[in-house]
Amino acid sequence: MDAAFQDFYAEKFSHCHGCGKNNPAGHHLKSRWDGDDTIARFLPKPEYSGGVPDHVYGGLIASLLDCHGAASAAAFAHRAQNREMGSEGEPIRYVTASLKVDFRRPTPMGIELVIKGKLRSMDERKVWVDLTLSANGEVCASGEMLAVRYRQ
Amino acid sequence: MDAAFQDFYAEKFSHCHGCGKNNPAGHHLKSRWDGDDTIARFLPKPEYSGGVPDHVYGGLIASLLDCHGAASAAAFAHRAQNREMGSEGEPIRYVTASLKVDFRRPTPMGIELVIKGKLRSMDERKVWVDLTLSANGEVCASGEMLAVRYRQ
């Protein structure tokens, strides 16, 4: 499978619990292109239940949207320069300034979740990303993120 | 120390990774009264780093605000009935419908975080809660939550 956006993060910035390849205890979320949009897939372990054991914990849902959104922002910014992550030139990295999550229905456990990102708009320093998290083809949570370019 | 709001959650709804007493792998966040507001304290383990090892991972910040906000909503609703959680009568429980988190500055690792909740408004079914997460007395993240009453 193609490398994920997070695989191109600099080593010293790869410790995120949600998506850093250098965090052995983390989730290792991997985000990739899906046409002009972005996609990641994740199967939560049973310990990530919400109040009831058969639903996913809201904190994990926010985390997946957060890590996928920030990685997507970086990918969108690279494409806007007609290049890909990992290509020559200065790497572009984003951090989350604001994240809103709407929990539309309970997210079931034991099913691979699909997280998608769509570019809403971009300026020189900021990227707005629309996000969804689905299970069995149904959107369980939607989100919107403002990501801000990080000066490394 | 007094019992926390989460200690009064029904056994079958106490499996949340963020705050459920019946989730052995979870964070066990504990929320309590602080006058008319609410408060929780939490020291993240080193594995919950963000991209850089000395900052807390955004997903954990969202999770702490989420669990504290939902517990606070339940506590506010009980007080509106002139009773406390765990008192006689039907227990009231809330779930998160929407959570917005603004990441204002990096949250440092190795420091006990203080999460606060304030009641903004309430109607028969919904509670709006304003939230902050601070380290060393500085607000690192702020949030707002819409919590909806859960019919058990």
CATH number, domain at A112? 3.10.129.10
Task: Determine whether the interchain pair A51/B103 forms a contact, defined as Cβ–Cβ distance below 8 Å.
Answer: no
Range of the domain at B120: 5-150
Contact between B94 and B77 (Cβ < 8 Å):
yes
Q: Which residue of A has its CA nearest to B63?
A: A59
CA distance B19 to chain A (A): 8
For residues B116 and B132, give the distance between their C-alpha atoms in angstroms, rounded to a whole number: 5
3-state secondary structure (DSSP) of residue B12: helix
Does the model's pTM come out above 0.90? Answer: yes
Check if B15 contacts A (Cβ < 8 Å): yes
The answer to whether A94 contacts chain B (CB < 8 Å) is: no
User: Which residue, A135, A136, A72, A61, is CA-closest to A103?
Assistant: A61
How many independent structural domains does chain B possess?
Answer: 1
The residue type of B25 is: A
Q: Which residue of B has its CA nearest to A96?
A: B103
Nearest CB to A17 within list B25, B47, B66: B47
Q: Is B33 near chain A, with CB under 8 Å?
A: no
Burial tier of A20 (Cβ tally within 10 Å: 0-12, 13-18, 19+): buried
B11 touches chain A (CB under 8 A): no
In angstroms, the CA A45 to CA A111 distance is 10
pLDDT number for residue A152? 64
Output the tens digit of pLDDT for each of chain B's 152 residues. 789 999 999 999 999 999 999 999 999 999 999 999 999 999 999 999 999 889 999 999 999 999 999 999 999 999 999 999 999 888 899 999 999 999 999 999 999 999 999 999 999 999 999 999 999 999 999 999 999 999 76
Establish if A8 touches chain B: CB-CB under 8 angstroms.
Answer: no
Which positions ≥6 away from B43 have C-beta within 8 Å?
Answer: B111, B112, B113
Cβ-defined contact of B50 to A17 (cutoff 8 Å) = yes
pLDDT tens track for B89-99: 888 999 999 99
- Taking only the tens of pLDDT, chain A with its 152 residues reads 789 999 999 999 999 999 999 999 999 999 999 999 999 999 999 999 999 889 999 999 999 999 999 999 999 999 999 999 999 888 899 999 999 999 999 999 999 999 999 999 999 999 999 999 999 999 999 999 999 999 76
Chain B nearest C-alpha distance from A14 (Å) = 5
Chosen from B64, B66, B93 to mutate, greatest number of chain A CBs within 10 A: B66
Q: Tell me the ipTM for this assembly.
A: 0.96
Candidate from B49, B59, B67 with C-beta closest to A15: B49
pLDDT of residue B139: 98
Q: What is the reported pLDDT for B81?
A: 95
